């Protein structure tokens, strides 16, 4: 009720806003979740598209890199170990202070500081040193050539004169950010909404959408109902609910392909899910095609690993179909024998484990139930339960979770944090606590090599190793669906990461929107 009330309090589409703005100048979007923080020092906006901040670089609709706070793409020297950026002239933070190279240096050094609680800092492991060269140049020196480094510099830059006076973990900057971006935060009611106003002095030009509201509505059905009633201009929706708007002439459905996949974590510390035979049998038992057809209504693709089948880094020889006979053979061979109740057992232990999914997420619920149904056919009893993340997180070491992951761009971005043993149990990194030396070696090669052929061979080998020894059961890659009032022109979507809705969707570049009439 609190969430629904928060949306009702927002301006109704078409009515103008409280400040007298027209319908095209005020946008209310319904999304399923909100950030824990708005500070890039703790990971906010690290993949780009933050409305409050800018990085040195940004991404176009096709994900190609383009200059943002930097006036050009970096100059790369020393065999890929030195990256030099020259800053754009005249950029100011929203408080009027100028952007300098020192702000960039402060941002990266703070993220990398061991005292900063940023769980994504391993993404910047390659940095040996970052320093200013005058007011307008920043030089990164890397420990090793890192093929994906330029794409890491979409990381938002923060003002040292504000954030530098605070503890990065607890300071007010986490909820009262100051940036160079197209919008300025005007309010944040936790669990309800975030409101933004256009930055009239934005270096990229003042946005036509003057007021932006992100209404936080965790429940998919409530989000669809509020969109239908006119309390929202747009929303992110699961396929079954997006389909209910297909005959709505006043709204348009936008579909974005993604790297976002659903998978079941199989914790190595659990005596059942830690058994390789159980993991391989589950991988063979699932009917991925049926999940795409029935759960996603065709809006997705089977996931045979963490990379989607149309990604250029996908190893084509890892596609596989449901094979219950082979799953049974593997379990028999490993000593998991069928019991009278149909559930297999080994050394007195039943092949049984709990699978959690986050409450209110219908797509994950449907995946979890389908997974349990398929597992039962192989003699494995998966008990599905819903819970909040506050309940799930402490149990991730022992219990399986219907999880979502996926990062755009270089394969290193999504695979390293998902699989490298050095990150086992590090928050939501490597949730399965997967530990495979062959996979670690492939990840390190892929991260450090500049040779495209060597990187491709490493990632191909990694994907094949995941078939032989899976730490997760990969289920589907999901297309993201958004329904939006048809009042703006030339809207696009990007290929998106797992984290979407808040800074993705057709509003990824809302600062560039133009009214349709």
Give the pLDDT of residue 119. 83
Are residue 56 and residue 19 in the same domain, yes or no? Answer: no
At residue 20 the predicted structure's pLDDT band, cuts being 50, 70 and 90, is: very low
Give the pLDDT of residue 499. 78
Is residue 1 predicted with pLDDT exceeding 60?
no
Are residue 288 and residue 423 in the same domain, yes or no? Answer: yes
Give the pLDDT of residue 39. 97
Mean pLDDT throughout 484-491? Answer: 92
Q: How far is CA 406 from CA 21, 65, 74, 147, 455, in A?
A: 38, 19, 26, 19, 19
Identify whether 422 is part of a domain: yes
Give the pLDDT of residue 124. 93
Is residue 9 predicted with pLDDT exceeding 60?
no
CA 26 to chain centroid:
26
Q: How far is CA 198 from CA 186, 211, 407, 503, in A?
A: 10, 6, 28, 15
Give the pLDDT of residue 159. 98
User: Strands (DSSP E) along 388-455, which ranges?
Assistant: 400-405
Mean pLDDT throughout 476-489? Answer: 94
Identify whether 461 is part of a domain: yes
Residue ending a domain, choose from 141, 174, 207: 174
Beta-carbon count within 10 A of 114 CB? 7
Identify whether 513 is part of a domain: no
Spatial contact of 86 and 69, defined as CB atoms under 8 Å apart: no
Are residue 395 and residue 421 in the same domain, yes or no? Answer: yes
pLDDT digits (tens, 9 = 90+) for 435-466: 999 999 999 999 988 899 999 999 999 999 99
User: Strands (DSSP E) along 439-494, which ranges?
Assistant: 472-478, 480-485, 488-489
pLDDT digits (tens, 9 = 90+) for 120-146: 888 898 999 999 999 999 999 999 999
Report how far residue 515's alpha carbon sits from residue 60's, in angstroms, rounded to the nearest whole number: 21
Are residue 161 and residue 266 in the same domain, yes or no? Answer: no
Closest to 47 (Cα-Cα) out of 37, 58, 36, 60: 58
CA 229 to chain centroid:
29
Query: CATH number of the domain that 251 lies in?
Result: 3.40.190.10
Query: CATH number of the domain that 384 lies in?
Result: 3.10.105.10
Beta-carbon count within 10 A of 445 CB? 17
Is residue 11 predicted with pLDDT exceeding 60?
no
Are residue 104 and residue 149 in the same domain, yes or no? Answer: yes
As beta bridge partners, residue 356 has 385, 401
Mean pLDDT throughout 315-320? Answer: 93
Residue 437's domain comprises 261-478
Each residue of 235-264: b (16+ CB within 10 Å) or e?
Answer: bbbbbbbbeebeeeeebbbbebbbbbbbbb
Terminal-residue alpha carbon distance, the chain? 36
| Choice among 193-197, 447-451, 471-475 with the minimum mean pLDDT | 447-451
Are residue 324 and residue 414 in the same domain, yes or no? Answer: yes
CA 82 to chain centroid:
28
Q: pLDDT exceeding 70 applies to what percent of the chain?
A: 95
Give the pLDDT of residue 502. 77
Identify whether 290 is part of a domain: yes
Q: How many domains does the chain have?
A: 3
Give the pLDDT of residue 450. 85
Report how far residue 369's alpha carbon sits from residue 391's, in angstroms, rounded to the nearest whole number: 19
Give the pLDDT of residue 198. 97
Give the pLDDT of residue 272. 98
Give the pLDDT of residue 408. 86
Closest to 258 (Cα-Cα) out of 216, 220, 301: 301
Give the pLDDT of residue 13. 45
Mean pLDDT throughout 108-131? Answer: 94
Are residue 274 and residue 215 in the same domain, yes or no? Answer: no
Are residue 250 and residue 279 in the same domain, yes or no? Answer: no
Q: pLDDT exceeding 90 applies to what percent of the chain?
A: 85
Is residue 415 predicted with pLDDT exceeding 50?
yes
Identify whether 494 is part of a domain: no
Mean pLDDT throughout 68-89? Answer: 97
Are residue 196 and residue 315 in the same domain, yes or no? Answer: no
At residue 426 the predicted structure's pLDDT band, cuts being 50, 70 and 90, is: confident
Instruction: Estimate the share of the chain in helix, then strand, then coil, as percent rounded to the nearest 5.
Output: 30, 25, 45
At residue 22 the predicted structure's pLDDT band, cuts being 50, 70 and 90, is: low
CA 257 to chain centroid:
13
Are residue 416 and residue 302 in the same domain, yes or no? Answer: yes
Identify whether 503 is part of a domain: no
Are residue 26 and residue 46 in the same domain, yes or no? Answer: no
Give the pLDDT of residue 23. 64
Q: How far is CA 69 from CA 55, 101, 150, in A?
A: 6, 10, 13
pLDDT digits (tens, 9 = 90+) for 212-225: 999 999 888 999 99
Identify whether 505 is part of a domain: no
Mean pLDDT throughout 379-407? Answer: 96
**Residue reference for tokens 């200059």:** 67
CA 258 to chain centroid:
10
Are residue 388 and residue 416 in the same domain, yes or no? Answer: yes
Identify whether 184 is part of a domain: no
Classified as helix, coil or strand, 23 is: helix
Tokens of 401: 């979770």
Report how far residue 197's alpha carbon sits from residue 51's, in angstroms, rounded to the nearest whole number: 10
Give the pLDDT of residue 42. 96
């Amino acid at each position: 009720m609190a969430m629904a009330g928060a949306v009702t309090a927002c301006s109704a589409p078409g009515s103008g806003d409280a400040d007298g703005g027209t319908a095209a100048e005020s946008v209310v979007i319904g999304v399923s979740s909100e950030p824990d923080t708005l500070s890039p020092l703790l990971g906010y906006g690290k993949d780009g598209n933050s409305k409050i901040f800018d990085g040195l670089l940004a991404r176009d609709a096709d994900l190609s890199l383009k200059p943002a706070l930097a006036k050009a793409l970096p100059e790369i020297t020393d065999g890929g170990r030195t990256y030099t950026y020259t800053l754009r002239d005249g950029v100011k933070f929203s408080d009027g202070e100028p952007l300098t190279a020192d702000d960039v240096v402060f941002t990266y050094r703070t993220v990398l500081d061991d005292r900063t609680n940023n769980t994504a800092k391993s993404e910047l492991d390659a940095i040996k040193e970052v320093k200013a060269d005058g007011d307008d140049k920043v030089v990164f020196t890397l420990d090793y050539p890192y093929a994906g480094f330029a794409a890491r510099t979409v990381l938002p830059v923060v003002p040292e004169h504000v954030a530098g006076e605070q503890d990065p973990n607890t300071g007010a900057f986490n909820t009262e950010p100051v940036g160079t971006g197209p919008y300025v935060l005007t309010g944040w009611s936790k669990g309800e909404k975030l409101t933004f106003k256009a930055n009239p002095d934005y270096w990229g030009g003042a946005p036509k959408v003057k007021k932006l509201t992100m209404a936080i509505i965790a429940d998919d059905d409530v989000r669809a109902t509020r969109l239908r009633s006119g309390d929202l201009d747009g929303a992110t929706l699961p396929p079954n609910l997006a389909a209910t708007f297909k005959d709505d002439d006043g709204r348009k459905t936008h579909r974005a392909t993604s790297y976002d996949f659903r998978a079941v974590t199989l914790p190595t510390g659990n005596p059942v899910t830690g058994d390789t035979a159980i993991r391989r049998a589950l991988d063979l038992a699932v009917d991925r095609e049926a999940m795409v057809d029935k759960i996603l209504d065709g809006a997705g693709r089977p996931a045979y690993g963490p990379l989607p089948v149309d990604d250029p880094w996908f190893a084509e020889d890892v596609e596989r179909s449901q094979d219950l006979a082979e799953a049974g053979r593997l379990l028999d061979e490993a000593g998991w024998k069928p019991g009278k109740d149909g559930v297999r057992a080994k050394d007195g232990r039943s092949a049984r484990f709990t699978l959690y999914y986050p409450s209110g997420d219908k797509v994950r619920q449907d995946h979890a139930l389908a997974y349990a149904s398929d597992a039962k056919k192989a003699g494995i009893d998966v008990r599905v339960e819903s819970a909040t993340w506050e309940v799930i997180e402490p149990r991730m070491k022992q219990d399986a979770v219907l999880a979502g992951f996926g990062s755009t761009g270089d394969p290193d971005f999504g695979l390293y944090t998902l699989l490298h043993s050095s990150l086992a149990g590090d928050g939501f990194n490597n949730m399965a606590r997967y530990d495979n030396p062959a996979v670690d070696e492939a990840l390190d090669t892929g991260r450090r090599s500049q040779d495209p052929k060597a990187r491709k061979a490493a990632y191909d080998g990694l994907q094949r190793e995941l078939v032989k020894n899976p730490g997760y059961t990969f289920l589907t890659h999901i297309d993201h669906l958004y329904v939006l009032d048809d009042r703006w022109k030339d809207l696009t979507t990007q290929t998106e990461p797992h984290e979407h809705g808040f800074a993705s969707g057709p509003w990824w570049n809302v600062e560039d929107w133009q009214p349709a009439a």
